[in-house]
Amino acid sequence: MGAEVWTARVRDAKQVLNELRAGAGPEAANHTDAERVKFNAHQRRKLTRFESIVSELETLLGDGAPDSPTGETGTRRKLIEGFKDEAKRFRAGFSDGGDASGANAAMGGGGAGPGGSSASSALASDGRRVGDASTAAAAVPDVTEATSAEELLETQRMQIEAQDEAMDKLDGLVGKLKSTSFKIADEVELQAKMVDDLTEDFAHTQARLKKLRKQGFKLAGEGKNDAERERMEHEETMAAKKKSYEDNYEKDKVKEDESASGCVIA
């Protein structure tokens, strides 16, 4: 996957570099002032995009290029250095000349002569020569509109890729949130069931306490009645014993009196 990304970004960098070189050709001097201002702004945007791609290539190289064979890391580093030299030449050209013709002068005539940079040598293996790019640019009457359309499409493509990547991340996040919401819903349902069980247990406990309270009152009343009944029975028994004692006492006294009377008579 890393090798495919590297190849794609190198291809993008070479394409933008060739477009920059084609725009810095001799025909740029034939532009009117208004066309030159618009064209220079367009070239600067291309240069900024080219530098951004080179920065991405540096990041890929910094990741170690795990898919690259042994020894290719050095080749990739040289290619990046060449790209950076080309970007510096274009940037210096815009600073010195203020337009595409100044960038062309800083490149030494478009990079086709003996003063070409190391990036020209690296790009030669890919078959993308500056002269071919200049010829192709000369065959197109409206380079600005064509490159603008290409740049717009490329920008849209990059935006779509970024949006797709963001959507993939959002899908993963939504999946996690959905899983979490299901767990929360299960937990809420479990807690609700526990609350129902506790409510039922509480109601049952209240009913038992009420029943036990009634039984306690009943037992307390029965105990009180039993004590009262025992007291009354005891009093009745004592009264009966007292009466029996008094009766026996009277009888004994009468007998004693009768006995005493009999003795006297005799």
Written in H, E and C, the secondary structure of 147-178 is HHHHHHHHHHHHHHHHHHHHHHHHHHHHHHHH
According to the model, what pLDDT value does residue 78 have? 92
pLDDT at 123: 43
In Å, what is the CA distance from 173 to each residue of 64, 144, 159, 163, 182? Answer: 29, 43, 21, 15, 14
Query: 124 lies in a domain?
Result: yes
CA distances, 130 to each of 9, 62, 124, 144, 222 (Å): 20, 29, 9, 18, 120
Structural domain for 34, as ranges: 2-139
Residue 34's CB is within 10 A of a number of other CB atoms, namely 8
Tell me which of 49 and 100 has the higher pLDDT: 49
Give the pLDDT band of residue 48 (cuts 50, 70, 90): very high
- 161 inside domain: no
Statement: residue 64 has pLDDT above 70: no
Q: Which two tokens stand for residue 149?
A: 């359309």
Report, as an integer, the average pLDDT of 34-62: 86
Q: Tokens standing for 34? A: 């208004």
Q: What is the pLDDT of residue 51?
A: 92
User: Is-contact 87 17, C-beta < 8 A?
Assistant: no
Half-sphere exposure of 254 (CA within 13 A, CB side): 6
What is the tens place of the pLDDT at every residue in 102-125? 455 444 444 433 334 444 444 444
Query: What does pLDDT average to over the chain?
Result: 73
Comparison of pLDDT for 148 and 20, the residue scoring more: 20
Question: Where does the pLDDT of residue 128 fall: very low under 50, low under 70, confident under 90, or very high at 90 and above?
Answer: very low
In a domain, 128, yes or no: yes
Answer yes or no: is 221 within a domain.
no
Closest Cα partner for 53 from 2, 1, 9?
A: 9
Q: Do the Cβ atoms of 39 and 144 come closer than 8 Å?
A: yes
Residue 262 pLDDT greater than 60, yes or no: yes
**Mean of pLDDT values over 148-173:** 78
Residue 130 included in any domain: yes
Residue with tokens 């197109």: 140
- pLDDT the model gives residue 27: 59
Give residue 62's pLDDT: 63
How many independent structural domains does the chain possess? Answer: 1
Residue 27, domain member (yes or no): yes
Residues of the chain above pLDDT 90, percent:
11
Whether the model pTM is above 0.75: no
> Quick check: is 260 in a domain?
no
> CA 244, CA 247: separation in Å to the nearest integer?
5
pLDDT of 69: 53
**Looking at the domain assignment, is residue 158 inside a domain?**
no
1-34: pLDDT as tens digits: 577 888 888 999 999 999 888 876 655 566 677 7
Q: Is residue 83 within 8 Å of residue 57, measured between CB atoms?
A: yes
| pLDDT per residue as tens digits for the range 72-108 | 788 889 999 999 999 999 888 876 655 544 455 444 4
CB-CB contact of 93 with 84 (8 Å): no
- What gap in Å lies between CA 52 and CA 149, rounded to an integer? 19
Report the pLDDT value the prediction gives residue 81, as an integer from 0 to 100: 93
Q: What are residue 210's phi and psi, to 5 degrees? A: -65, -40
